[in-house]
């Protein structure tokens, strides 16, 4: 049995046939590019036809919308049926069409995932965000079978495509800790979880840089031919540019630790030359008191100690100042590439690290080094390089303001720009085999970040350096690395990554460059969606990618870019609208009953609520949300809205067609509500064990089931047919309760088995900040089914006060009032959870009180500073039932924007009421 189990392999024709087919597809793409309507597709990149064609490898990769998507997916679907038959998997083509039982069933993936990033594939090319492909493999193996189609609409570097292909690599699957038998069945312990076999992947991204990187990650290449071509090109570059990296050998050994010996020798050592490995450049400032020039390296760096001085001492006037108090020195110079004078921050080289043979030395730049810099800056390149003016942006404005870097070539020193352009000219030669050419260009883009002026010098890391990958930041002390030597190392790294992946040409993904808001793909075409979308205003992808894309000559059309960006005038509402349109398309193309995984690096509660609302509004149901605890490398369930600065894994499913049809017929009825609960319970994890403890699955608890039921109705414009008390009573009548959670009858045996084997059931930690979370916390303390017990007020109060973190806007009733409105008291003063039949009477009394308070909020004008959030929730629910959408909008607009955006319940009512008023 081979280690690589692939899709059925149709043996390729001789290369002449391949070339003819490629030429035919290229001509078809050219015809599409001539069609004006083709260029109106949302997110069509900025670039001329020839630039797009030069990057593209149709039909699998186009640096524009991919017109071949429909025909390839249709072919894949036919092959998928054949694969399922060969593997003995049941025919699932009729799933959900007639409302009968579905063949496909998966619970949300609820196991720990901790995959390191130190992998040859992961490290081949940097990007602003990148999910390790091994982590994605676990999700794909869990949710799909061989031949299934995986979709990633924010593909970035294409790790989902790498993962989809490596699901057919026995060795790669075993490295995840799984066992694979001779028949290709994948086991987690003794439990069969999947089948070995490559999956198909559709990768889409708005940014041409991203899809270019994804293409090179996901496409097989002749490694020997690539290395041979790269070595030839680097030899030619060295012949042309090697003189730029030469320096007189006058320095000291780089491992010399005695600072007294850190001086250049008075005479060159036999006039021998060294090869520059890197140069440290320092910004020059002006003393704010006397105006003397200060080279930051000289006054701020304690090189022997490997640290910066806290304060800078001016040698002229003796004043002590902080770096931020210094004034930057500027100069006017002639930019030969632009043909005009430009203003830039003054800098000078302060340290050169070089090699003679195999030994490393360091020196202070001498007159010959400074003369070399001047010569290079006046040297006219024989090779093209981009001089695009950088657009205004939240990120691009920083280097413009700090260093005067307003054009792409100014992101590099003159020396590195010339060497890069010499390499690029040879690497992008159209006479090269396409895969080799693209991989050589990939080598250049993979190196640009660390060959730019963005490398941050650290005195503690001589010989190294860091770079701010998520911002266009120019440091005051930077590294200039030898382009030729760095590219040599990068060639080896890329060759190693290509050797490790060893992909088959038959499992290549299809890649498109466009917005994810619309595809020419039939509904219900893909089997699984995995996305790592933009997250609010944390990363400005089109700005961060601009330098790469200027070299590629195809730029991002940022009009549909889903970000929060002041320069683009996009606020959170725009971000949510753009994300919603993407999720709407994901919902359309995903098969009913199938799953979407959203990896979301959350930066604020407002952004989290926006993404959650966008997911729910298009029809998805969220079954599981997990938080990546980076310190412990484990996932923990999230039960609080306070989730800023945590990584989330959201598992959402598309309801089955038969259910949606029946719900529309029963919308607003109790039968429809309970049908939803049955389907939702079917999708939730049954038993999740972590470190010997059985987790409480939050989604199975009554209050979250009620919230999901309400959300399902609101998002579909239906009346909510059950009050909370009626719902809780109905749960007990229809479903089986275990440890405060509810299950379908056929799920109970599995949970009971896990319960017997586990040491105990772990309690969920609740963050008490308002009335709703207070009630949940009290229920947990007083309900015997969740490990609580009846308690007196005196026993409860100290615990409650310790847990309470009251929000500033919240008018929170006294603890005694919360107890009286939601719980019962026995004859000896113990508070306990009421029987569901009596809970209904309590709720009616509480609702009347809440609605009286809400009525006060409807009468006034102006912003509400203090209010009872539960009263607003109750009022919104009542107004929705009465279809009084205007009152919902009126009160919502009186709430502080932060409160509205951070409360998912209030935001849901407001958004849907606004939609119906419009």
- H-state helical runs in 219-325: 223-241, 296-300
How far is Cα 800 from Cα 771, in angstroms, rounded to an integer? 12
User: Does residue 446 lie within any of the structural domains?
Assistant: yes
pLDDT tens string 268-306? 556 689 999 999 999 999 999 999 999 999 998 888 877
- 734 located within any domain: yes
First-to-last C-alpha distance (Å) of the chain:
62
**Percent of the chain's residues with pLDDT above 70:** 91
Q: Is 409 domain-assigned? A: yes
Please tell me whether residues 665 and 581 are part of one structural domain: no
CATH number at residue 201: 3.40.50.150
Q: Is the residue at 701 inside a domain?
A: yes
Residue 511's nearest CA partner among 221, 226, 207 is: 207
What is the rounded average pLDDT of the residues 150-169? 95
Same domain, 599 and 609: yes
Per-residue burial over 757-769, b = 16 or more CB atoms within 10 Å of its CB, e = otherwise:
ebeebbebebbbb
Pairing assessment for the beta strands 252-253 and 200-205 based on DSSP bridges:
unpaired
Last residue in a domain, options 457, 474, 501: 501
Pair (409, 422) in one structural domain = yes
Q: What is the pLDDT of residues 865-910, one digit of tens each?
A: 888 999 999 999 999 999 999 999 999 999 998 888 888 889 899 9
Asked which of 249-253, 416-420, 459-463, 615-619 is least confident by mean pLDDT, the reply is 459-463
What pLDDT, in 10s, does the model give residues 151-160? 999 999 999 9
- Provide the pLDDT for residue 647: 66
Number of domains in the chain: 3
Q: Above 80 in pLDDT, residue 110?
A: no
Same domain, 508 and 487: no
In this structure, are 493 and 578 located in the same domain? no
In three state form, how does the secondary structure of 645-685 look?
Answer: CCEEEEEEECCCHHHHHHHHHHCCCHHHHHHHHHHHHHHCC
SS3 of the chain: helix, strand, coil, percent, to 5? 45, 20, 40
Mean residue pLDDT of the chain comes to 87
Write the burial class of residue 244 (CB in 10 Å: 0-12 exposed, 13-18 middle, 19+ buried).
buried
Q: Give the 3-state DSSP-derived string for 563-613, with helices as H, strands as E and coil as C.
A: CCECCCCECHHHHHHHHHHHHHHHHHHEEEEEEEEEEEECCCHHHHHHHHH
Q: Is residue 255 part of a domain?
A: yes
Asked whether residue 792 is domain-assigned, the answer is no
- 527 & 485 share domain: no
Highest mean pLDDT among 63-72, 80-89, 505-514, 868-877: 63-72
| C-alpha closest to that of 61 among 205, 198, 224, 169 | 205
pLDDT tens digit sequence for 511-523: 999 999 998 899 9
573 and 663, same domain (yes or no): no
For residues 515 and 488, membership in a common domain is answered with: no
- Check pLDDT > 50 for residue 643: no
| 556 and 685 housed in the same domain | no
Are 590 and 534 members of one domain?
yes
How many angstroms separate the CA atoms of 593 and 587, rounded?
A: 11
Per-residue model confidence (pLDDT) at position 97: 59
Do 206 and 316 fall into the same domain? Answer: no
pLDDT of residue 469: 63
pLDDT digits (tens, 9 = 90+) for 841-872: 778 878 888 998 999 999 888 888 888 999 99
My answer on whether 552 and 429 are in the same domain is: no
Q: What is the domain extent for residue 449?
A: 224-501
Q: Is the pLDDT of residue 810 over 70?
A: yes
pLDDT of residue 228: 95
The pLDDT value recorded for residue 662 is 83
pLDDT of residue 2: 45
208-218 vs 434-451: helix crossing angle, rounded to 10: 120
Give residue 630's pLDDT band: very low, low, confident or very high (50, 70, 90). Answer: very low
SS3 call for 25? helix
Using the 3D structure, point to which of 728, 761, 794 is the last residue of a domain: 761
- Span 499-557, pLDDT tens digits: 876 666 668 999 999 999 998 899 999 999 999 998 887 789 899 999 999 999 999 99
SS3 294: strand
Helix (H) or strand (E) holding 216: helix 208-218
pLDDT-based confidence at residue 745 (cuts at 50, 70, 90): very high
The answer to whether residue 705 sits within a structural domain is yes
Q: Which of 709, 738, 761 is the last residue of a domain?
A: 761
């Amino acid at each position: 049995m081979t280690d690589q189990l692939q899709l059925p392999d149709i043996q390729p024709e001789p290369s002449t046939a391949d070339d003819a087919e490629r030429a035919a597809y290229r001509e078809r793409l050219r015809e599409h590019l001539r069609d004006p309507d083709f260029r109106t597709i949302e997110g069509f990149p900025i670039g001329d036809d020839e630039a797009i064609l030069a990057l593209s490898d149709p039909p699998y990769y186009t640096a524009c919308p991919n017109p071949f998507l429909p025909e390839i997916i249709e072919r894949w679907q036919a092959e998928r049926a054949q694969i399922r038959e060969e593997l003995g998997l049941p025919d699932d083509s009729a799933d959900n069409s007639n409302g009968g039982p579905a063949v496909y069933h998966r619970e949300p993936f609820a196991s720990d995932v901790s995959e390191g990033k130190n992998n040859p594939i992961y490290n081949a090319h940097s990007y602003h965000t990148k999910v390790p492909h091994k982590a994605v493999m676990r999700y794909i193996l869990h949710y799909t079978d061989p031949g299934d189609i995986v979709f990633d609409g924010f593909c970035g570097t294409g790790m989902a495509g790498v993962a989809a292909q490596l699901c057919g690599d026995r060795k790669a699957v075993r490295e995840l800790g799984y066992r694979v038998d001779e028949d290709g069945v994948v086991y987690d312990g003794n439990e069969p979880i999947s089948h070995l076999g490559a999956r198909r992947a559709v990768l889409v991204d708005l940014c041409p840089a991203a899809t270019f990187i994804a293409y090179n990650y996901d496409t097989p290449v002749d490694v020997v031919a690539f290395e041979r071509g790269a070595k030839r090109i680097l030899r030619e570059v060295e012949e042309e540019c090697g003189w730029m990296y030469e320096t007189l050998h006058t320095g000291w050994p780089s491992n010399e630790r005695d600072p007294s010996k850190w001086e250049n020798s008075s005479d060159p050592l036999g006039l021998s030359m060294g090869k520059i490995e890197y140069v440290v450049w320092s910004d020059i400032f002006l003393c704010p008191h006397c105006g003397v020039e200060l080279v930051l390296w000289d006054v701020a760096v304690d090189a022997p100690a490997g640290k910066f001085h806290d304060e800078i001492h001016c040698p002229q006037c003796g004043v002590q100042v902080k770096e931020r108090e210094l004034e930057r020195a500027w100069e006017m110079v002639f930019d030969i590439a632009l043909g005009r004078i430009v203003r830039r921050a003054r800098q000078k080289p302060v340290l050169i690290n070089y090699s003679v043979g195999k030994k490393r030395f360091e020196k202070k730049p001498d007159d010959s080094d400074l003369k070399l810099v001047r010569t290079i800056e006046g040297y006219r390149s024989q090779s093209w390089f981009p001089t695009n003016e950088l657009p205004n942006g939240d990120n691009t404005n920083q280097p413009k303001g700090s260093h005067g870097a307003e054009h792409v070539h100014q992101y590099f020193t003159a020396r590195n720009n010339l060497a890069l352009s010499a390499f690029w000219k040879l690497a992008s030669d159209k006479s090269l085999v396409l895969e080799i050419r693209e991989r050589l260009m990939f080598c250049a883009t993979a190196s640009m970040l660390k060959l730019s002026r963005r490398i941050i010098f650290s005195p503690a890391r001589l010989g190294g350096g860091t770079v701010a990958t998520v911002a266009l930041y120019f440091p005051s002390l930077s590294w200039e690395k030898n382009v030729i030597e760095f590219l040599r190392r990068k060639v080896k790294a890329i060759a190693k990554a290509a050797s490790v992946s060893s992909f088959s040409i038959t499992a290549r993904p299809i890649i498109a460059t466009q917005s994810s808001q619309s595809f020419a793909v039939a509904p219900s075409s893909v089997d699984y969606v995995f996305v790592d979308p933009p997250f609010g205003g944390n990363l400005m992808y089109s700005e961060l990618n601009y330098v790469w894309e200027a070299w590629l000559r195809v730029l991002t059309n940022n009009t549909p870019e889903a970000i929060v960006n002041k320069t683009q005038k996009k606020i959170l509402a725009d971000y949510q609208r753009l994300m919603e349109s993407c999720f709407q398309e994901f919902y359309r193309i995903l098969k009913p009953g199938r799953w979407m995984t959203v990896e979301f690096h959350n930066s604020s509660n407002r952004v989290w609520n926006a993404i959650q609302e966008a997911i729910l509004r298009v029809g998805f149901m969220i079954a599981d949300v997990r938080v990546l605890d980076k310190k412990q490398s484990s996932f923990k369930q999230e039960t609080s809205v306070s989730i800023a600065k945590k990584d989330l894994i959201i598992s959402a499913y598309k309801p089955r067609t038969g259910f949606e049809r029946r719900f529309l017929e029963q919308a607003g009825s109790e039968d429809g509500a309970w049908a939803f609960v049955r389907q939702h319970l079917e999708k939730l994890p049954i038993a999740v064990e972590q470190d010997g403890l059985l987790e409480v699955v939050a989604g199975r608890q009554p209050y979250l089931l009620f919230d999901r039921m309400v959300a399902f109705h609101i998002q579909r414009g239906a009346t909510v047919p059950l009050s909370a008390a009626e719902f809780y009573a109905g749960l007990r009548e229809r479903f089986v309760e275990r440890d405060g959670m509810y299950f379908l009858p056929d799920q109970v045996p599995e949970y009971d088995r896990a319960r017997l084997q586990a040491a105990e059931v772990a309690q969920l930690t609740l963050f008490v900040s308002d009335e709703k979370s207070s009630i949940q916390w009290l229920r947990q303390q007083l309900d015997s089914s969740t490990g609580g017990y009846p308690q007196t007020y005196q026993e409860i109060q100290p615990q409650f006060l310790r847990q309470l973190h009251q929000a500033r806007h919240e008018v929170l009733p006294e603890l005694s009032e919360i107890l009286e409105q939601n719980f019962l008291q026995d004859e000896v003063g113990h508070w306990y959870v009421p029987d569901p039949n009596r809970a209904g009477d309590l709720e009616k009394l509480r609702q009347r009180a809440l609605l009286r308070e809400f009525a006060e909020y409807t009468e006034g004008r102006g912003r509400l500073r203090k209010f009872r959030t539960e009263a607003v929730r109750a009022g919104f629910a009542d107004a929705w039932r009465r279809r009084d959408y205007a009152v919902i909008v009126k009160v919502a607009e009186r709430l502080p924007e932060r409160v509205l955006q951070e409360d998912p319940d209030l935001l849901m009512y407001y958004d849907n009421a606004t939609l119906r008023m419009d």
